């Protein structure tokens, strides 16, 4: 199933979610808000991409989920990065840096 | 590893988790709405905007769930349930599709059953067929022909081989008398280790033992086949120990083989090999390496591979053949399946191949037909599909759903097909061919797997294109219900064209084969067959050796003469395939020819004219004189006079004294190059056939009387020579019969297909027709416009089909007996027939459309 927005590089959404969660546990809406704010409104991740991506991370054991109370006391599902997820984040980060560097080098010619 | 457990965990708590996901999405929406309200939107606007911005919730939910799924698993179950419901709703459609596909798959599986039984499955009724192989030699002159080994060669191989144990059987006709009259049947003379080595399953008693097969001191014992025991002895449970007569000599029955053991070639009785010279005096099979052939079986010793055995046997065979002065030849090991490369096996495989081609076409046709039905159904379900798409189902999901519906149809059809395959091959063998198959026919795992594969292909072929087609063009187009007619090459027309083309190919083949048989019936045999009878004389075997037969032949000729029976001739029975070459040429420059031993009156009796030279006379005892036929003369001396020339055959030089016209004395096949030599005596142990030209039955009776006066124990059978050709014609009629069945089935399918397609096309254009009629168009114009649309498809299908038929018909050439593969009458007939069917199929729906009141039609929209 395709779930990344077309303007994101493949696999990048997972990286961004992992990075966001590295700051602490967060619910889905929070993640979307953070991505939007941190990218100054450039990255508007739709729910149809976000939630499948979260399920994928859960399945791979990179994050865990737990029900808790939100800021305004509603039941919300909070996602936390696991040790495995942290390792994954480092690995994906390096891979992404390598990729971006490569792209920049190509564009610089 | 962890993912598997997490998947399982999800599986167990699925419902709970899905509620959670829903709640999560709702929470997300609520927060978004709050945010929008904070930005100053009215609560109602905020709610709507939030919902809109959230995107496709269903899609998000489905995709999220899909992450957890083992691919397909759950959706397949849902699809199947949904499809079953859809199937229940339309029993008529389902019945039609299942019948069409079921028959096609059934024919396919039936043929494969025969093929698997004959060419893939090892011999039945023996122990561990996996380590049992057949040892043959490759005949160098004839490609792809395997033959057995001589007994002397077998003896050496069996004594010296270390990697395998060898056993042999030599088949030969013997006279068998169970007490109620003698009959000739095929006996297998087997080595003493045969039954033990093969591990033949026995119904009663035991097989031949080693000490019963001592050369020069054989024990008169016999093993009966199950069918012989069943039919001749009433399945007598106390059969073991009874006495039967084989070639006039008493033998003790020691056992009955199991029903499953077919032997290798319909043998009815098994005897010790060592008794061969006793029962067939004068037979040199045990001693002469030139005498062919015994079927040799090898049981691999534990640990030995086929390659090792082949290498060892090759070495032994080469050594043996060099010592006796024979050319070495490659030794080939094959499995024990019925078709394994012996004489005739390749023809059988070729026939199966041609049939397979036809049956595959029928399957394709059936798929195209059901595909069109599915397409029409998908068209009526455009609304439903559109709703599913707009509710967030991915296109792949809907396609899969439609494919599942196709699969359900195909599965039911495949079950029906398997049922057909379990019954049809046996039925055909027993009723049409009138002989039991020399192998066990029945579906097994392999047939099952093949049917499943065929069904899978059929499903994709029938359902994929319609499914893709039906979901094309996105939601709006689908909901509006008009995308279907927009494509450039309409899929429906394409499928219909394919059906028509295949039908043309099948019908043309059937037509050509039918006309081929008619041509064979009218075939000029080159001689006068009417009024000629073949009189077979059987002499009590052990008493008549070659010398005594020769005397008997001379006595019989004289006695017939003095009895006033002058219109008689003698000919050696059967045919003897030989090789001939020109003098001075090497042994590798030979051509296969037929040799016929005939008496001097032969040509006159059959009315075969001499075209050059003369025939032999009774006084003319020159052993080197030969008459050749025109084909022979053309082969060796093209464009020259053959009389007076000489050629070498059977290690002697023969001189051509005359040339006769080509006559199909051997059968309907094209006349082979043949030479005739004067009949000097019997060939082997078979007494010559007496040919009698007479119009009065009394003369046949007189011949019988003469024979019986000379030898009271002799048996005489009189058959009109015509029967031989009639029998061959009856066998030939099987091919057109099979082709006609396929062709008519195809025509039926194509008719249904055309009717359905045209009716649908007319229904789609009802509105247009209504408008035209309302605007004052005449019915004739409307009819013409509809017919011309259909005519294009029909014409294209016909054209492609005729071209295909012209290509396919080249394969059938050998069955057409001089009829051109491009026989215009057949092609024109088929084209006309299909055009007529197409006209009727498109005319009827059009009439129905015209009868509709214009106003009603328009209001219906």
Cβ within 8 Å, pair A74-B30? yes
pLDDT tens per residue, range B128-138: 888 999 999 88
Chain A partners of B3 at a C-beta cutoff of 8 Å? 59-61
Whether A47 and B6 lie within 8 Å, measured CB to CB: no
C-alpha dihedral sign at B299, B302, B306, B312: negative
Nearest to A59 among B6, B23, B59 (CB): B6
What is the value of pTM for the model shown?
A: 0.66
> What are the chain B neighbours of A85 within 8 Å (beta carbons)?
none
Residues 385-414 of B with CB under 8 A from A: 394
Distance CA B167, CA B125 (A): 17
What's residue B46's pLDDT?
A: 83
Residue A27 Cα, gap to closest chain B Cα (Å): 9
Longest dimension (CA), chain A: 54
End-to-end Cα separation, chain A, in angstroms: 36
d(CA B643, CA B606): 22
H or E element at residue B573: none
Q: Which residues fall within 8 angstroms of residue B356, CB to CB, at 6 or more apart? A: B111, B115
Question: pLDDT-derived band of residue B270, with 50, 70 and 90 as boundaries?
Answer: very high
According to DSSP, the β-strands at B674-678 and B591-598 are: parallel
> Which chain B residue's Cα is nearest to A47?
B54
Interface touch A75/B23, C-beta < 8 Å:
yes
Q: Chain A: residue nearest B32 by CA?
A: A29
- Report the C-alpha gap between B294 and B309 in whole angstroms: 19
SS3 call for B156: helix
Contacts of B25 (CB under 8 A, 6+ apart): A47, A51, B54, B57, B60, B61
- Whole-number average pLDDT of chain A: 83
The mean pLDDT of B668-673, rounded to a whole number, is 83
Q: Give me the mean pLDDT over the B11-16 stretch.
A: 72
Q: Which residue of A has its CA nearest to B5?
A: A59
Contact B67 A70 (CB under 8 A): no
d(CA B111, CA B360): 10
Whether A55 sits inside 8 A of B67 (CB atoms) is yes
Residue with tokens 């055309």: B754
B3 touches chain A (CB under 8 A): yes
Name the B residues in 121-160 with CB < 8 Å from any A CB.
none
A positions 39-58 inside 8 Å of B (CB): 46-48, 50-52, 54-56, 58
**Per-chain mean pLDDT for chain B:** 82
Q: Is B3 within 8 Å of A52 when comparing Cβ atoms?
A: no
What's residue A38's pLDDT? Answer: 87
**Confidence (pLDDT) at B391:** 77
Answer whether B55 sits within 8 Å of A77, measured CB to CB: no
**For B107-125, what is the mean pLDDT?**
85
CA geometry: angle B524, B529, B532, nearest 5 deg: 175
Q: Mind telling me how many Å the CA of B467 is from chain A's nearest CA?
A: 19
- Predicted pLDDT of residue B318: 92
Kindly determine whether residue B27 and residue A48, on different chains, have CB atoms separated by under 8 Å.
Answer: no
Residue A2 pLDDT? 36
Q: Measured between alpha carbons, how far is B318 from B291 in angstroms, rounded to an integer? A: 17
Using pLDDT thresholds of 50, 70 and 90, give the confidence band for residue A3: very low
- Confidence (pLDDT) at B557: 86
| Sequential DSSP letters for B742-807 | HHHHHHHHHHHHHHHHHHHHHHHTHHHHHHHHHTT--HHHHHHHHHHHHHHHHHHHHHHHHHHHHH
**Chain B residue with minimal CA distance to A72?**
B31
Q: What is the pLDDT of residue B821?
A: 87
The span from the CA of B37 to the CA of B43, in Å, is 6
SS3 letters across B71-133: CCHHHHHHHHHHHHHHHHHCHHHHHHHHHHHHHHHHHHHHHHHHHHHHHHCCCCCCCCHHHEE
Classified as helix, coil or strand, B13 is coil
The answer, for B93 touching chain A at a CB cutoff of 8 Å, is no
Specify the long-range contacts of residues B72-75, CB closer than 8 Å, at least 24 apart. Answer: B75/B397, B75/B400
Candidates B1, B26, B63, B391, partner chain A, best to mutate (most A CBs within 10 A):
B63
- Return the sign of the alpha-carbon dihedral for residues B9, B10, B14, B17: positive
User: What ipTM, to 2 d.p.?
Assistant: 0.80
- B717 bridge partner residues: B536
Neighbouring residues of B142: CB distance < 8 A, sequence distance ≥ 6: none
Q: Which of A51, A60, A70 sits opposite B60 (nearest CB)?
A: A51
Nearest CA in chain B to A49: B60
Taking Cα atoms as reference points, which of B527, B508, B834 lies closest to residue B663? B527
Please report, for residues A12, A99, B285, B861, the alpha-carbon distance to residue A107 in angstroms, rounded to integers and kept in the order given.
Answer: 20, 12, 89, 59
> Are B27 and A47 an interchain contact pair (Cβ–Cβ within 8 Å)?
no
Question: Which of B297-306, B461-470, B542-551, B727-736 ranks highest by mean pLDDT?
Answer: B297-306
> Residue B501 in contact with residue B831, Cβ under 8 Å?
no
How is residue B723 written in tokens? Answer: 């029967």
| Residue of chain B minimizing CA distance to A50 | B60
**For residue B344, what are its two tokens?**
């005739």
Give the pLDDT mean for B437-449: 74
Instruction: Count contacts between A and B (CB, < 8 Å).
Output: 72
Q: What is the residue whose two structure tokens read 């020069």?
A: B216
Return the higher-pLDDT residue of A107 and A45: A107
Contact B3 A29 (CB under 8 A): no
**How many Å apart are CA B787 and CA B843, to the nearest integer?**
7
Chain B residues 64-83 with a CB less than 8 Å from chain A: 64-68
Quick check: A29 and B7 CB within 8 A?
Answer: no
Residue B388 vs residues B365, B396, B477: alpha-carbon distances, Å: 31, 12, 13
Per-residue pLDDT at B312: 94
* Span B100-124, average pLDDT: 86
The Cα of B64 is separated from the nearest Cα of chain A by a number of Å equal to 4
| B60·A52 Cβ contact <8 A | yes
Q: Which of B114-118, B594-598, B656-660, B810-814 has the highest mean pLDDT?
A: B656-660
For residue B63, the chain A residues in CB contact (below 8 A) are: 1, 3, 48, 51-52
Q: Of the candidates B6, B30, B64, which has its C-beta nearest A51's C-beta? A: B64
* Helix ranges (DSSP H) in chain A: 12-21, 28-38, 47-60, 83-108
Q: Which residue of A lies nearest to B70 if distances are taken between CA atoms?
A: A59
Q: What angle do CA A47, A53, A59 make, to 5 degrees?
A: 140
**Residues ≥6 apart with Cβ < 8 Å to B450:** B109, B112, B116
User: What confidence category does residue B805 fall into, taking pLDDT thresholds of 50, 70 and 90?
Assistant: very high
The SS3 call for residue A53 is helix
User: Could you tell me how far CA B180 lies from the centroid of its own chain?
Assistant: 38
- The candidate with the shortest Cα–Cα distance to B318, out of B160, B206, B483, is B160
Q: Give the CA distances from residue A103 to residues A8, A99, A100, B398, in Å, rounded to whole numbers and listed in that order.
A: 14, 6, 5, 39
Q: How far apart are CA B18 and CA B64, in angstroms?
A: 9
The number of beta carbons lying within 10 Å of the beta carbon of residue B816 is 18
- Contact list in B for residue A70 (CB cut-off 8 A) is 27
- CB-based contacts of B726: which residues, under 8 Å, 6+ apart? none
Give which of B281, B458, B224 is closest to B359, Cα–Cα.
B458
Contact A61 B67 (CB under 8 A): no
How close B51 gets to chain A, by Cα (Å)?
A: 11
> Per-residue b/e over A20-56, b at no fewer than 16 CB within 10 Å?
bbeeeebbbbbbbbbbeeeeeeebebbbbbbbbbbbb
Verify whether the Cβ–Cβ distance A28 to B64 is below 8 Å: no
Using the beta-carbon criterion (under 8 Å), do A59 and B7 form an inter-chain contact?
A: yes
Q: What is the dihedral of CA B679, B680, B683, B689, to 10 degrees?
A: 50
CA distance B22 to B823: 72
> Residues 6 or more apart from B151 whose CB is under 8 A from it?
B168, B170, B273, B285, B286, B287, B291, B294
Chain A positions in Cβ-Cβ contact with residue B23 (cut-off 8 Å): 75, 77
Q: Is the pLDDT of residue B432 over 70?
A: no
CB A63 within 8 A of CB A85: yes
Position B483 pLDDT exceeds 50 = no
Question: In chain A, positions 57-96, which contact chain B (CB-CB < 8 Å)?
Answer: 58-61, 67, 70, 74-77
Under 8 Å between Cβ of B27 and A27: yes
Higher-confidence residue: B834 or B545?
B834
Q: Which residues of A touch B32 (CB under 8 A)?
A: 29
Find tokens 């992450």 and name the residue: B67
- Closest A-chain CA to B23: A76
Q: Give the gap in angstroms from C-alpha A3 to the nearest C-alpha of chain B.
A: 8
CA dihedral B319, B325, B328, B331 (to 10 degrees): -70
The C-alpha atoms of residue B789 and residue B493 are separated, in whole angstroms, by: 10
Kindly report whether the peptide bond that precedes residue B293 is cis, defined as omega within 30 degrees of 0: yes
Of the listed ranges B15-24, B98-107, B183-192, B702-711, the one predicted with least confidence: B15-24
pLDDT in tens, B195-240: 999 999 998 999 999 999 998 888 999 999 888 888 888 888 899 9
Quick check: B27 and A55 CB within 8 A? no
What is residue B860's predicted lDDT score, i.e. its pLDDT?
Answer: 56
Over B606-650, what HEC string results? Answer: HCCCEEEECCCCCCCCCCCEEEEEHHHHHHHCCCCCCCCCEEEEC
In angstroms, the CA B420 to CA B108 distance is 10
Q: Which residue of B has its CA nearest to A56?
A: B67
HSE, side-chain direction, 13 A CA sphere, residue B108: 31
Residue of B6, B59, B65 with shortest CB distance to A48: B59
Which chain B residues are Cβ-neighbours of A76 within 8 angstroms? 24, 27
Q: What's the pLDDT band for B854 if we cut at 50, 70, 90?
A: low
Which of A5-19, A65-79, B34-48, B148-162 is predicted most confidently? B148-162
Confidence of residue B344 (pLDDT cuts 50, 70, 90): low
pLDDT band (50, 70, 90) for residue B383: confident
- DSSP code at position B683: B
């Amino acid at each position: 199933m395709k779930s990344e927005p077309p303007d994101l590089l493949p696999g990048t959404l997972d990286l961004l979610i992992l990075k966001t969660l590295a700051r602490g546990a967060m619910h889905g809406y929070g993640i979307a808000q953070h991505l939007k704010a941190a990218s100054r409104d450039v990255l508007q991740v739709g729910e149809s991409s976000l939630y499948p991506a979260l399920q994928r991370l859960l399945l791979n054991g990179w994050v865990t989920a737990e029900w808790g109370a939100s800021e305004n006391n509603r039941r919300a599902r909070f996602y936390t990065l696991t040790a495995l997820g942290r390792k994954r984040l480092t690995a994906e980060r390096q891979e992404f840096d390598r990729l971006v560097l490569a792209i920049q080098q190509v564009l610089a010619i | 590893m962890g993912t598997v457990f997490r998947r399982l965990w999800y599986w167990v708590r699925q419902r709970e988790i899905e509620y959670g996901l829903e709640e999560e999405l709702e929470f997300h929406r609520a927060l978004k709405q709050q945010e929008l309200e904070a930005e100053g939107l009215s609560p109602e606007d905020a709610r709507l905007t939030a919902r809109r911005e959230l995107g496709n919730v269903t899609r998000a939910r489905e995709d999220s769930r899909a992450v957890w799924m083992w691919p397909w698993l759950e959706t397949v179950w849902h699809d199947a349930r949904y499809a079953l419901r859809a199937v229940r709703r339309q029993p008529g459609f389902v019945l039609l599709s299942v019948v069409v596909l079921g028959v096609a798959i059934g024919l396919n599986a039936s043929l494969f059953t025969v093929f698997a039984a004959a060419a893939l499955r090892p011999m039945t009724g023996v122990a561990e067929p996996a380590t049992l192989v057949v040892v043959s030699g490759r005949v160098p002159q004839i490609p792809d022909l395997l033959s057995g080994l001589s007994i002397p060669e077998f003896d050496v191989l069996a004594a010296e081989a270390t990697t395998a144990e060898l056993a042999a059987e030599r088949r030969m006709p013997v006279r068998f008398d169970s007490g109620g009259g003698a009959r000739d049947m095929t006996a297998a003379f087997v080595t003493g280790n045969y039954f033990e080595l093969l591990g033949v399953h026995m119904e009663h008693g035991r097989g031949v033992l080693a000490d019963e097969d001592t050369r020069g001191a054989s024990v008169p014992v016999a093993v009966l086949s199950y069918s012989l025991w069943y039919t001749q002895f009433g399945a007598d449970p106390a059969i073991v120990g009874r006495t039967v007569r084989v070639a006039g000599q008493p033998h003790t029955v020691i056992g009955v083989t199991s029903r499953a053991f077919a032997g290798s070639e319909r043998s009815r009785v098994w005897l010790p090999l060592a008794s061969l010279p006793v029962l067939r005096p004068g037979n040199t099979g045990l001693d002469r390496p030139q005498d062919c052939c015994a079927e040799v079986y090898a049981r691999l010793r534990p640990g030995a591979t086929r390659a090792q055995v082949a290498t060892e046997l090759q070495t032994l065979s080469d050594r043996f053949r060099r010592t006796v002065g024979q050319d070495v030849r490659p030794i080939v090991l094959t499995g024990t399946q019925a078709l394994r490369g012996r004489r005739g096996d390749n023809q059988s495989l070729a026939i199966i191949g041609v049939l397979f081609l036809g049956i595959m076409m029928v399957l394709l046709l059936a798929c195209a037909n059901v595909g069109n039905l599915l397409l029409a159904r998908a068209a009526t379900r455009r609304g439903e599909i559109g709703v599913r798409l707009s509710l967030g189902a991915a296109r792949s999901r809907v396609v899969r759903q439609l494919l599942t519906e196709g699969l359900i149809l195909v599965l039911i059809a495949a079950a029906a097909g398997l049922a057909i395959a379990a019954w049809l091959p046996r039925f055909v063998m027993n009723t049409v061919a009138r002989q039991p198959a020399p192998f066990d026919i029945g579906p097994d795992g392999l047939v099952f797997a093949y049917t499943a594969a065929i069904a899978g292909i059929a499903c994709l072929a029938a359902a994929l294109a319609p499914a893709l087609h039906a979901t094309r063009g996105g939601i709006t187009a689908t909901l509006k219900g008009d995308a279907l007619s927009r494509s450039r090459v309409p899929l429906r027309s394409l499928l219909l064209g394919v059906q028509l083309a295949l039908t043309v190919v099948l019908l043309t083949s059937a037509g050509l084969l039918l006309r081929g048989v008619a041509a064979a019936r009218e075939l000029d045999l080159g001689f006068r067959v009417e009024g000629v009878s073949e009189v077979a004389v059987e002499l009590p075997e052990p008493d008549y050796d070659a010398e005594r037969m020769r005397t008997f032949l001379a006595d019989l000729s004289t006695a017939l003469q003095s009895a006033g029976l002058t219109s008689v001739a003698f000919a050696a029975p059967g045919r003897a395939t030989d090789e001939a070459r020109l003098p001075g040429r090497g042994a590798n420059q030979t051509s296969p020819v037929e040799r016929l031993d005939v008496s001097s009156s032969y040509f006159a009796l059959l009315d075969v004219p001499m075209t050059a030279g003369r025939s032999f006379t009774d006084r003319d005892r020159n052993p080197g004189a030969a008459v050749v036929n025109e084909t022979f003369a053309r082969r060796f001396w093209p464009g020259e006079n053959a009389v007076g020339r000489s050629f070498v055959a059977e290690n002697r030089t023969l001189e051509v004294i005359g040339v006769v016209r080509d006559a199909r004395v051997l059968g309907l096949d094209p006349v082979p190059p043949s030479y005739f030599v004067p009949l000097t005596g019997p060939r082997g142990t078979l007494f010559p056939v007496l040919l009698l030209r007479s119009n009065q039955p009394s003369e046949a009776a007189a011949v019988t009387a003469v024979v019986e006066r000379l030898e009271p124990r002799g048996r005489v059978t009189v058959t009109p020579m015509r029967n031989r050709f009639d029998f061959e014609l009856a066998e030939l009629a099987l091919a057109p019969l099979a082709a006609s069945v396929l062709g008519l089935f195809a025509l039926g399918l194509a008719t249904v297909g055309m009717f359905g397609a045209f009716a649908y096309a007319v229904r789609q254009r009802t509105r247009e027709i209504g408008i035209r009629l309302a605007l004052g168009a005449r019915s004739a114009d409307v009819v013409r416009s509809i017919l011309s649309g259909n005519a294009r498809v029909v014409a294209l299908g016909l054209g492609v089909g005729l071209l295909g038929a012209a290509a396919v018909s080249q394969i059938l050439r050998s069955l057409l007996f001089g009829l051109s593969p491009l026989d215009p009458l057949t092609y024109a007939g088929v084209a006309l027939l299909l055009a007529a069917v197409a006209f009727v199929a498109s005319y009827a729906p059009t009439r129905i459309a015209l009868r509709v009141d214009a106003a009603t039609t328009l209001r219906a929209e």
